Amino acid sequence: MFQTLYSYFWWERLWLPANLTWADLEDRDGRVYAKASDLYITLPLAFLFLVVRHLFETYVATPLAGLLNVKEKVRLKATPNAVLEKFYAATTKHPKQADVEMLSKKSGCTVRQVERWFRRRRNQDRPSLLKKFREASWRFTFYLIAFIAGMAVIVDKPWFYDLREVWKGYPIQSMLPSQYWYYMIELSFYWSLLFSIASDVKRKDFKEQIIHHVATIILISFSWFANYVRAGTLIMALHDSSDYLLESAKMFNYAGWRNTCNNIFIVFAAVFIITRLVILPFWIMHCTVFYPLDLYPAFFGYYFFNFMMVVLQSLHIFWAYLIIRMAQKFITGKVVEDERSDREETDNSEEEEEVAKNGPLSNGHPVLNNNHRKTD
């Protein structure tokens, strides 16, 4: 049964144009072709990335955060309460008004105290500023290096300047060592992002992030199987061109360098819109949809590859909407912040009255500054 499924999965008509077989992509006469078995190395490399990331965040990002004066704000802790903690952990972190009233009776607290307790408890679970900075530093470093490496791989190739060259001779296109390593490193990195997504900072687009990582892994893997390597390198480099700008803007945002953050964000927004909403659909996708039909009839792999491109493009439109909203806030003079992140919650007016009477307090002790800074 396994052998039957294996045979169906690797049926040439699924992956290759008509009149071509896997035998046509066997190494010969100095030509080397992409093979499915090459991708096995990406899983151990992904775990190696996780180790390197841990070392980087510990020995590079953390000291860098100190140099940039990345500081945590004081968070008021929720008073231990078994009744409220049980409801928080087992039912919901955002109780409805009826739940609040019920919990008020059970816990012996007032309704306002219950509401305040849940706000503080939710804030305790939110990731620290240092954690956000470390993650952004790691992604910034990778995306910047990947973009530079990607450009080095493709800038001297004829298909970088003439997209029809992407399909010249397809699929009998020999693979270069630089293309091999570019693919292996990119795919390994996205595997590592998928493996760590549960422990990373969770944002409002958590589900979209999972879809993006899975779609990217499938797209990179399929383009390797079907020898869409030339198109794949162009797509990966295009995506890396704006990602490092976003991560650097986040880093400066966490450090409190507002003007620098805003300026980088504007550059990022322009690059993102140009690359993801103009170049990708009107050049790259036009290349993958129309040019192959001049050489061979459409086949399953052709449809599958372009379907995954549509999935990615849909996510780009969704993120572009968030970016435009952020840009509007910037233009109107408001603080630029990541629309995908949950905001830090502040305590209610009752607590503000206490501050006015007694001075700012944190768990009974005076604090120097309890202003809430909007962060990613």
H or E element in which residue 362 lies? strand 361-362
Both 101 and 133 in one domain: the answer is no
Quick check: is 151 in a domain?
Answer: yes
Residue 64, Cβ density class (10 Å: 0-12 exposed, 13-18 middle, ≥19 buried): middle
Both 97 and 143 in one domain: the answer is no
Structure tokens at 54: 């841990």
pLDDT for the residue numbered 353 = 37
Cα-Cα-Cα-Cα torsion 12, 17, 18, 22, nearest 10 degrees, comes to -40
Q: List pLDDT tens digits, range 156-189.
A: 999 999 999 999 888 888 889 999 999 999 999 9
CA distance 298 to 18: 9
Quick check: is 355 in a domain?
Answer: no
Q: Identify the weakest region by mean pLDDT among 177-181, 207-211, 238-242, 313-317.
A: 207-211
Nearest in space to 323 (alpha carbons), one of 335, 332, 336: 336
The count of structural domains within the chain is 2
Its pTM stands at: 0.78
CATH code at position 107 = 1.10.10.60
Provide the pLDDT confidence category of residue 348 given band limits of 50, 70 and 90.
very low
Provide the pLDDT confidence category of residue 191 given band limits of 50, 70 and 90.
very high
Q: Which domain holds residue 134?
A: 29-68+128-332
Both 132 and 119 in one domain: the answer is no
Both 112 and 213 in one domain: the answer is no
The residue-averaged pLDDT of 6-21 equals 77
Quick check: is 354 in a domain?
Answer: no
Percent of the chain with pLDDT over 70: 86
Ramachandran quadrant class, 169 (left: phi over 0; alpha: psi -120 to 50; beta: rest): left
Structure tokens at 218: 């499938």
Q: What average pLDDT is seen over the chain?
A: 83
